[in-house]
Every structure is written in C-alpha cells, then in structure tokens.
Chain A
C-alpha cells in the first residue's frame, strides 16, 4: 500500500513539474490555464492516493470534489477574462499585456 503511495507521489511530482514548466515558459494565455489545470490534476491525484493509503477514501473524495469545483470556477473566470482581453488586444500573447507597466 505504501509503495503504491510513493509511486503515485512520484507521478504527482512529475505532473506538478510539467505544470510549473508550462506556467514559466509559455506565452499563450490559454496554455497558461492548461498548466494550471495540469497542476490541479496532480493535486487531486495526491489527495485520492493519500486517502487510499490511509483508508479514508470518503473524506479524500469530498476534498477532491471541492478542489474540482473551485478549479472549474477559476477556469471559467479566467477564460472570460481572456476573451474580454482578446476583444481589446486581438491577441492571446501575454507579452502584449503591458498597459499597466510603469
């Protein structure tokens, strides 16, 4: 059971690493959201595998559902912001969002 937990945690670290790489290097705003989504996948996997290892799967699932709901709200709001920015700049590039730059 514990070895499965360690294996899962290894993959959680990989997923979070891929997401952080995406957030740090990509220039497309939609790609940045995809990075956030990949990190959220890692977090839900960590929650469920820990709940499985501790034999408290119901609590882990309740927390996972909370994470998923918050994630959906974040993604919907961020996509609405991206669409309204796109109406002004006609682009999806984060490098063009420099209006507030001092």
Chain B
C-alpha cells in the first residue's frame, strides 16, 4: 500500500511536469499532494497531512488556477519536443542510480533512536516558538509583496490611459 501511494505520487508529479496543458499540470500537482497527504496519514503524521491537503492541495491549486486564468498568452509557450525522448532516459538513469545507492545503504544505517514527550501543540508552542514568529513574518511579507505588485500594475495601467 505504501509503495502504491509513493508510485502514485511520483507518477502524478511526472504528469504535472510533462503535461502540455497548464490546467492539467496544476490538477495533477493537486492529486500528487493528496497522495503525499495519504502517505503522511499512514505514518501517523496527522497534522502535516491535514496541512498538506488543505493548504498545498487546496490553496496552492486555487492560486495556480487563478494565475493561469489571469494570464493570457499570445500563443502557447513552445516547449521543445525532445522532452518525450529525454525525460524517460533521464528518469531511468536517475532511478537506476537511486536503486543502486539505496541497495548499498540497506542495512548499513544504524538504528535511529530518539524520543519525545508531549503533544503536538506543546512541541509547537514550547520548542518552535521562533518558527511561529518567523511564519507570521513570512505570511505578512508575502501579503505585502502581492499587494505591492498588484498596486504597481494598476498605477502603471492608469498612467498609460
């Protein structure tokens, strides 16, 4: 089951990269996020899974689709047609190297031990307080950047008129 979910994740990621239609790419990315969230749920990482589904599969897909709808292109971007030939070769080489390296590592990694106590909320509030402050700062910076970019576009549009 785990392997099936992982293969689904990689397959939809490949589809997102290779698909010619941007809308199909965005939706494939959302499906890949759902597969990743299912992997998280299987590994008991419930909070990360919920965030992955709601934010990455939901919000980012909405952002992508809005951006695709707002942009207009005078003709599709011509991607080179060599991808259909080059990508399978690249992917096969990557997979072979990956399998060889992982086989060498199999059984050689010492057992990782660690333990933690407390709930998710305690860990987040007590140990990673600085991260939370940083997250709030990043969100504000992102909002201000988007506002600044759109305001600039509007004022230039008025100037031209």
The A-B contact count (CB < 8 A) is 235
Main secondary structure of the interface of B (DSSP, over half): helix
Q: Is the CB of B79 within 8 A of A56?
A: no
Partner of A64, one of B45, B68, B80: B45
Q: Is the CB of B118 within 8 A of A58?
A: yes
A22–B25 Cα distance when bound, in Å, is 12
A-side contacts of B33, CB under 8 Å: 41
Q: Is the CB of B45 within 8 A of A52?
A: yes
A83–B157 Cα distance when bound, in Å, is 14
**Known contacts A10-B98, A28-B77, A55-B114; is-contact A21 B124 (Cβ 8 Å):** no
Q: Is the CB of A41 within 8 A of B9?
A: yes
B1 at the interface (CB under 8 A from A): no
**Known contacts A62-B124, A62-B127, A70-B138; is-contact A77 B146 (Cβ 8 Å):** yes
Q: Is the CB of B111 within 8 A of A2?
A: yes
- B20 → chain A closest CB, angstroms: 10
Q: Is the CB of A84 within 8 A of B113?
A: no
Q: Is the CB of B114 within 8 A of A10?
A: no
A-contacting residues, B95-131, CB 8 Å:
95, 98-99, 101-102, 105-107, 109, 111-116, 118-120, 123-124, 127-128, 131
A71–B157 Cα distance when bound, in Å, is 30
Interface size bracket, A side: 35 or more
Q: Is the CB of A80 within 8 A of B17?
A: no
A25–B87 Cα distance when bound, in Å, is 10
Binding site for B on A (CB under 8 A): 1-11, 13-15, 17-19, 21-22, 25-28, 30-31, 33-35, 37-38, 41, 44-45, 48-66, 68-77, 79-84, 86-87, 90-93
Name 27 A/B residue pairs within 8 A (Cβ), A-sorted. A10-B99, A14-B95, A17-B98, A25-B80, A25-B83, A30-B26, A30-B67, A34-B26, A38-B29, A45-B39, A48-B39, A48-B45, A48-B48, A52-B44, A55-B115, A58-B120, A61-B120, A62-B124, A63-B131, A68-B56, A72-B142, A79-B63, A83-B67, A84-B150, A90-B72, A90-B74, A92-B73
Q: Which 8 A-B pairs have the closest CB atoms?
A: A73-B142, A58-B123, A86-B71, A79-B67, A54-B114, A80-B149, A64-B48, A28-B77
